[in-house]
Amino acid sequence: MTESTVAGATSEPDVVDVLTNDHHEVLDLIRQISGAGSNERRRDMADTAISEVVRHAIAEEMYVYPAMKEHLPDGADEVEHDIAEHKELETVMKSLERVDSSDPQFDGLVREFEQKLSHHASDEETDQFPKLRASLPRDVLVDLAHKVETAKKAAPTRPHPAAPNSPAFHKLVGPGVGLVDRLRDKLSGRSTG
């Protein structure tokens, strides 16, 4: 994590900074896929984007969504909506993962992936994240950023649409699934960022 000095004080990024940065980096990567040239490069970029979105979503479900449920008005409804969007993203990512980058379906799935992720990120960034910042003290938001960054390191790298999207599942089973995913990635030569 980077630190910046603001008016003489050292401040770390909070969870909103971390998650917003994730959104922008992955969306930028996805938008570059179509012009990437070789099919191998397009595949690598898609695999990296998938891996980053999976890690991001799991970290959100483990730490951010419980905070939203507890501290935001209608937090439970917003989390339910976000989890439904994660499931949609998982389904698209699984389809994209299965399609060869030379297949005509590949570009359509990349566009669908971008559209769904862009919609999800916009919901969070324009509505939920400002509410989260208004509801939680800065030190809690910074602590959540640390938890999210740590969770992303152990999280699975592949979409698992049939798996539950719950904090308990991610905390108990997720690290094992993540280990298996990273082993599969290494053995297959799959790019994951």
Residue 6 forms part of a structural domain:
no
Q: What is the pLDDT of residue 86?
A: 93
What is the total count of domains within the chain?
1
**Residue ranges in 61-189 assigned as alpha helix (H):** 65-71, 75-98, 104-123, 129-135, 138-154, 167-172, 174-188
Nearest to 113, CA basis, from 143, 146, 91: 91
Domain limits at 167? 11-188
Q: What is the pLDDT of residue 2?
A: 42
Main-chain dihedrals φ then ψ at residue 163, nearest 5 degrees: -80, 150
Asked if pLDDT for residue 140 goes beyond 50, the answer is yes
| CA–CA gap between residue 120 and residue 182 (Å, rounded) | 26
| CA–CA gap between residue 180 and residue 93 (Å, rounded) | 18
Whether the Cβ atoms of residue 142 and residue 14 lie closer than 8 Å to each other = yes
Residue 2 forms part of a structural domain:
no
Whether the Cβ atoms of residue 181 and residue 94 lie closer than 8 Å to each other = no
Residue 55 forms part of a structural domain:
yes
Residue 5 forms part of a structural domain:
no
Q: What is the CATH number of the domain that holds 84?
A: 1.20.120.520
pLDDT digits (tens, 9 = 90+) for 51-107: 899 889 989 998 999 999 999 999 999 999 999 999 999 999 999 989 999 999 999
DSSP 13-60: --HHHHHHHHHHHHHHHHHHGGGS-SHHHHHHHHHHHHHHHHHHHHHI
Whether the Cβ atoms of residue 141 and residue 63 lie closer than 8 Å to each other = no
Q: What is the pLDDT of residue 1?
A: 40
**Higher pLDDT, residue 36 or 114:** 114
Quote the tokens at residue 44: 């690598």
Residue 38 forms part of a structural domain:
yes
Residue 172 forms part of a structural domain:
yes
Residue 4 forms part of a structural domain:
no
Q: Quick one: average pLDDT of 107-135?
A: 96
Asked if pLDDT for residue 130 goes beyond 70, the answer is yes
β 9-11/4-6 pair status = antiparallel
| CA–CA gap between residue 63 and residue 166 (Å, rounded) | 10
Residue 1 forms part of a structural domain:
no
Cα separation values, 67 from 50, 98, 140, Å: 25, 34, 10
